[in-house]
A = this chain, B = another copy of it.
């Protein structure tokens, strides 16, 4: 094993002091001279026609600078399938539909102006159940939307989610055991501590700057450039500057109506316009994780080898499309490639309803699918009379495997993870007591080496060094709190032989930072890390070339360590890095050390059959829990929580553990407590009193196991770890509950009420 100086060290986040002392500038803190405040009027009806809007009273209110409606804005379209507009005209399709917006000198005036806008609606019946919405003759959400071969109007989206590998029907016939179940998962939301917001402003040449908290600066820049064109400003430039981001978790992977509204208000008023969501807006007007109805069947041989997996899924898309509509693309990953399963069929339908529309959220479909798969694995194991631990070991993925979706499994520490979790939990001793305490486990696969969702999965890096040895790194990567700035600094410092404190990372401005596809798919450490490493390598080559001349040593014999260039052959030959830099610079025809690098991983877009090697490498892991179930109350208490992850290499074990803790905490919430309650399209619990997010006192003591498989393609061997911590939590807990009290809960969250009801049912039987 190589000895690393910077990689593998528990270095605190570089912005930690700024954040804990309140010095960090979040979007809420940003003030720009002359700035106006924007507020949005939402529809009070989930489904209605707009008969008229009267904004005249609002416009007269002193301090109001602009009032916009769907009737006086240019034709900007957004959303994954461009079915959304910033302000709705003619019709509203959900309770978060934006109907009008105001810019005023202060937020209270803007709020007051909203009350003065009179909208006359003709109320339409709403559809809130996707199965209802799918029915022939159902009321149409978008009358113009057609589907199927006949191009008939329908609420079912034209999304061909269909993955077929092998012959499921044949495999089912030949299976010794087959389990069939329906699982249900509902809306949960990101609960970012920083609510959504932005500030939009135009310069005097009509170029746009948006201060944003996006996870996708380059794509947002593209979307805003398109919006400028729609506004009649073709050729004008959009610049995105990120402030500190108070949590992302996928919620910021798209552009939203509020951003376009801020842009339109800024253009109308010629002033910077800020829109900040209230906590209530954050709950009802942002896009949660997509709910799903999952019909799943899996079979196995007598000795417990999986024979097939057959899944049909109905997803409630809500009223408009965002990335939530595409989560089946990621669901295919565990469906096809979690455990070895030779025959796979997956068919999913996304259906328009009058509910809120969904968005990417940490794991992006994977937690939903894995809940069904790994819950049912225990059911199937029981049918086969095999300990679920053995069942999983028997079917565990292995390096070198090519899965039914054509994923090429490069490194894979799944067996080590399963084994480590079992050891830690004393699985053989504690399982099967049925005394109210039980253990369960579940595993995960996730992309760990980028994910070719777009045509490019790349990230650019520019590095310049100054005379003092400071390394300025401009990266496309987005640090939304996960610590990518620090990880990139560690990678650059390691490659260059300097210290982390020598590295300054700039990651906030599309005018400065090279392109990057965004902070999604747990790709930043792998992709931005490889990009930074590549740029650092070019810088290092330049440094060694200069030093070779001054030290009279061949380049191959030179290396850099702790800010010193030295000869590996002759320890006398060495020179401080700063001296080499100055020698290179302060000479006739001198040069400064700079380099740029664009890394686009060697992964594949999925083909028309949804097959292809989506990621350069894959992350695996297993979580195990021990729970205690109170039979009187149905309350589930987590006694122990063990999380084992194949991370390739831990660049920063502390930040990595942070990702696992955070992920698993969200996972426990998903499993046990969190639920965005919608009734007739209305969010009934838009606050932290009624939405049961875990707080510090609810979080168990996580035991983390890091399995390092040293992936040959990762920067210093690393794979992604951003999302995995969340993925197997719910099935592991569900399995532990079953082990503890013998009831199987198949819809999330597993509330005490559901446990108690199941216990009562079981008693009855």
A interface residues with partner B (beta carbon < 8 Å): 17-18, 21, 23, 203-205, 218, 221-222, 225, 235, 237, 452, 454-456, 458, 460, 462, 464, 466-468, 470, 472, 474, 501, 504, 506, 510-512, 514-515, 585-592, 594-596, 598, 600, 602, 604
A221, A460, A589, A596 — most chain B CB neighbours (10 Å):
A596
Q: Are A462 and B460 in contact (CB under 8 A)?
A: no
Contact status of A506 and B515, CB under 8 A, knowing A456-B590, A596-B595: no
Q: Are A462 and B602 in contact (CB under 8 A)?
A: no
Q: Are B506 and A511 in contact (CB under 8 A)?
A: yes
Q: Are B592 and A512 in contact (CB under 8 A)?
A: no
Alpha-carbon distance between A472 and B514 when the two chains are bound, in angstroms = 10
Contact status of A589 and B600, CB under 8 A, knowing A18-B203, A511-B504: yes
**CB nearest neighbor in B for A589:** B600
Q: Are A222 and B456 in contact (CB under 8 A)?
A: no
Q: Are A455 and B587 in contact (CB under 8 A)?
A: yes
Return chain B residues, CB-CB under 8 Å to A474. Answer: 512
**CB nearest neighbor in B for A516:** B592
Residue from B17, B589, B598 in contact with A205 in the complex, judged by beta carbons closer than 8 Å: B17
Residue from B506, B511, B588, B592 in contact with A598 in the complex, judged by beta carbons closer than 8 Å: B592
Alpha-carbon distance between A455 and B586 when the two chains are bound, in angstroms = 5
| A723–chain B nearest beta-carbon distance, Å | 24
Return chain B residues, CB-CB under 8 Å to A602. Answer: 588-589
List the 7 shortest-distance A-B pairs measured between CB atoms, nearest first: A455-B586, A17-B204, A594-B596, A591-B598, A590-B600, A592-B598, A515-B592
Alpha-carbon distance between A595 and B594 when the two chains are bound, in angstroms = 9
Residue from B21, B237, B464, B600 in contact with A462 in the complex, judged by beta carbons closer than 8 Å: B464
Q: Are B585 and A237 in contact (CB under 8 A)?
A: no
Alpha-carbon distance between A454 and B590 when the two chains are bound, in angstroms = 12
Return chain B residues, CB-CB under 8 Å to A587. Answer: 455-456
Contact status of A472 and B512, CB under 8 A, knowing A17-B204, A204-B17: yes
| A124–chain B nearest beta-carbon distance, Å | 41
Other than the given A460-B464, A591-B600, 10 more pairs (CB < 8 A) read: A17-B204, A18-B204, A222-B468, A456-B586, A458-B591, A467-B515, A472-B511, A514-B592, A590-B600, A591-B598
Q: Are B470 and A237 in contact (CB under 8 A)?
A: yes
| A24–chain B nearest beta-carbon distance, Å | 10
| A158–chain B nearest beta-carbon distance, Å | 23
Alpha-carbon distance between A587 and B590 when the two chains are bound, in angstroms = 36
Alpha-carbon distance between A623 and B586 when the two chains are bound, in angstroms = 37
**CB nearest neighbor in B for A237:** B470
Return chain B residues, CB-CB under 8 Å to A17. Answer: 203-205
Q: Are A21 and B460 in contact (CB under 8 A)?
A: no
Q: Are A466 and B596 in contact (CB under 8 A)?
A: no
Return chain B residues, CB-CB under 8 Å to A596. Answer: 462, 464, 594-596
| A750–chain B nearest beta-carbon distance, Å | 43
Contact status of A598 and B594, CB under 8 A, knowing A17-B205, A18-B203, A466-B515: yes
| A371–chain B nearest beta-carbon distance, Å | 33
| A19–chain B nearest beta-carbon distance, Å | 10
Alpha-carbon distance between A594 and B476 when the two chains are bound, in angstroms = 13
A21, A222, A467, A515 — most chain B CB neighbours (10 Å):
A515
Alpha-carbon distance between A486 and B451 when the two chains are bound, in angstroms = 41
Q: Are A204 and B23 in contact (CB under 8 A)?
A: yes
| A449–chain B nearest beta-carbon distance, Å | 14
Alpha-carbon distance between A598 and B594 when the two chains are bound, in angstroms = 9
Alpha-carbon distance between A367 and B536 when the two chains are bound, in angstroms = 48
| A494–chain B nearest beta-carbon distance, Å | 19
| A446–chain B nearest beta-carbon distance, Å | 22
**CB nearest neighbor in B for A17:** B204
Alpha-carbon distance between A472 and B506 when the two chains are bound, in angstroms = 15
A218, A456, A604 — most chain B CB neighbours (10 Å):
A456
| A146–chain B nearest beta-carbon distance, Å | 29
Alpha-carbon distance between A661 and B585 when the two chains are bound, in angstroms = 36
Return chain B residues, CB-CB under 8 Å to A456. Answer: 585-587, 590
| A225–chain B nearest beta-carbon distance, Å | 6
Q: Are A221 and B466 in contact (CB under 8 A)?
A: yes
Residue from B21, B222, B237, B585 in contact with A204 in the complex, judged by beta carbons closer than 8 Å: B21
Return chain B residues, CB-CB under 8 Å to A452. Answer: 588
Return chain B residues, CB-CB under 8 Å to A218. Answer: 466
Contact status of A515 and B585, CB under 8 A, knowing A203-B18, A462-B594, A504-B237: yes
Return chain B residues, CB-CB under 8 Å to A204. Answer: 17-18, 21, 23
Return chain B residues, CB-CB under 8 Å to A221. Answer: 466
Alpha-carbon distance between A21 and B587 when the two chains are bound, in angstroms = 44
Alpha-carbon distance between A501 and B470 when the two chains are bound, in angstroms = 33
What are 25 contact pairs spanning A and B, CB under 8 A? A17-B205, A18-B203, A205-B501, A455-B587, A456-B587, A456-B590, A458-B585, A458-B590, A458-B592, A460-B592, A462-B462, A467-B515, A504-B511, A506-B511, A512-B512, A515-B585, A515-B592, A588-B600, A588-B604, A589-B600, A590-B598, A590-B600, A591-B598, A594-B598, A595-B596
Alpha-carbon distance between A677 and B341 when the two chains are bound, in angstroms = 93
**CB nearest neighbor in B for A454:** B586
Return chain B residues, CB-CB under 8 Å to A237. Answer: 468, 470, 504
| A592–chain B nearest beta-carbon distance, Å | 5
Return chain B residues, CB-CB under 8 Å to A594. Answer: 460, 462, 514, 596, 598
Return chain B residues, CB-CB under 8 Å to A598. Answer: 590-592, 594
Alpha-carbon distance between A222 and B469 when the two chains are bound, in angstroms = 12
Return chain B residues, CB-CB under 8 Å to A468. Answer: 222, 225, 237
Alpha-carbon distance between A721 and B460 when the two chains are bound, in angstroms = 38
Alpha-carbon distance between A526 and B642 when the two chains are bound, in angstroms = 64
| A15–chain B nearest beta-carbon distance, Å | 10
Return chain B residues, CB-CB under 8 Å to A472. Answer: 511-512
Alpha-carbon distance between A237 and B14 when the two chains are bound, in angstroms = 14
Return chain B residues, CB-CB under 8 Å to A203. Answer: 17-18, 23
**CB nearest neighbor in B for A238:** B468
**CB nearest neighbor in B for A29:** B33
